[in-house]
Amino acid sequence: MTSATFTVATTEALVRLLRQGQERATALGRPVVVSLASPLSGDLSPLSVFATARRAGAYRMFWGRPKQDFWLAAAGNSVMLSADGNGCIADVEARRRCLMEDAIVQSPHRPGVGPIFLGGFRFDPRVPRDPMWASFPDALLVLPRILFAWSEGSAWLTINALASPGDDAVAQAKSLSGEIQALTAGTESPLRPPRVVHISETSPEVWGRWVRRGLDAIETGPVSKVVLARKKSLRAEGHFSSDGALRQLVHAYPECTVFCIDSGGASFLGATPETLARVDDGKLGLTCLAGSAARGSDPAEDHRLQDELLASPKERQEHEAVRAMLASNVKGLCTELRWDETPGVARLRNVQHLLTSFAGALRPGVGVLDVVHRLHPTPAVAGVPTGGALKLIAELEGDRGWYAAPVGWMDHSGGGEFAVAIRSALLLGDQAVLYAGAGIVAGSDPDREFQETELKFRPLLDALTGE
């Protein structure tokens, strides 16, 4: 595809839609969302669009599932919904629904096409915010001005705008046309990772104290499981590149969801193997991912480690706690819910996990954010029971920011997809802060759990340093 993709016909359709929006905005006395989707032809890379948006200085978000050949690249913002404090997920969802009730939408029903909101949430909004997460509110949903989507073998462009009384529809359309021309004219330019000059991290000694504290809490009864996370902070000679890191993650972890959200000069990105909830036409999909083992250096060792994982009482106990709570929490939202009788194994590049898949049918009017609100935080990233685990995490770790929280997208009918933001990092110029966690249950060994977190650091560590 070339920059000529934004055709005269598309421009004319956009002008008509904006004028309809102005008429409705005048009648209602408030701005109205208008959204126009059109198919694209030619060849355009999701990564190149995302990189070009950075050079344009626009808000941007990237979402990719390489194995399914599904990609979203968003630039600019027409509407930004944010909230802080308890109930922030329900707050932004209520405002989004209200906004979309009056919207004028010209779009087919296809995944990732139309007025898609993208964003995420903080892990625990009750914990005092760490200053490094200042650019990421407790809840953030953005309706981008321009959204490119690749799904089901085709590419789509969605244009979203806010129409107000007295706007100049022709000028608005011309401005949007210019933004699209710029985004589609860019190309990927290879960026060399900066040289890391300093690394600091949660030490084995501190980690050992944390794990022993968790084991004490398990023994005395406040919790039966707690998920603790370490940080690894990198300082470089130059700025870290989310564009370069994304490119490496896409190629190295095609089975994961690769994401990046820019907010206020900071970037949060990752390659997560865990989908929190996926909703399409009222159908719900969930995955339970808990219990871990390393990958082997050859097929024989790999199978041995897999068999040990499946047979491990400790890992099966951890997995079952997550599966049971997921089932309990979403049953009330569903007319039907099914899951695997026994867990399988999900193999990633350097680690493997026990996996249970869920499928269900949602009750009428229930959307993906209703499921997210009900599920977060799962036992896979917090613990059991949730309240006791969160209290211990806050006491030991402080603010996790958006690590291990939901990130994703949703459409105007309540469908969409949110993942758990693990295997992730926060980029702040020449600083990168990486996170990796491990589930602590009775019998956990601090040294073994430390090595598990080291394995989980590898995806982002390699992507940011170019190793």
Does residue 181 contact residue 6 with C-beta atoms inside 8 Å? yes
Which of 20-28's residues contact partners 24+ apart within 8 Å by CB, and which partners? 20/104, 20/163, 21/104, 21/161, 21/163, 22/163, 22/164, 22/165, 22/166, 22/167, 22/169, 24/102, 24/104, 24/163, 25/163, 25/164, 25/165, 26/165, 28/102
Q: How many CB atoms lie within 10 A of CB 442?
A: 12
CA distance 59 to 371: 27
Alpha carbon 74 to chain centroid distance?
14
Does residue 403 contact residue 435 with C-beta atoms inside 8 Å? yes
To the query of whether residue 225 is one of the catalytic residues in this protein, the response is yes
From residue 364, give the alpha-carbon distance in Å to each of 179, 198, 361, 370.
Answer: 38, 53, 9, 12
From residue 73, give the alpha-carbon distance in Å to each of 140, 184, 213.
Answer: 17, 11, 43
What single-letter DSSP state applies at residue 416? E
Q: How many CB atoms lie within 10 A of CB 173?
A: 24
CA distance 61 to 263: 9
Q: Which of 179, 201, 225, 452 is catalytic?
A: 225
- 3-state class (DSSP) for residue 323: helix
In terms of Cα–Cα distance, which of 465, 2, 417, 418 is closest to 235?
Answer: 465
Half-sphere exposure of 341 (CA within 13 A, CB side): 0
To the query of whether residue 391 is one of the catalytic residues in this protein, the response is no
Q: Which of 201, 274, 449, 452 is catalytic?
A: 274
User: Which residues are designated catalytic?
Assistant: 225, 274
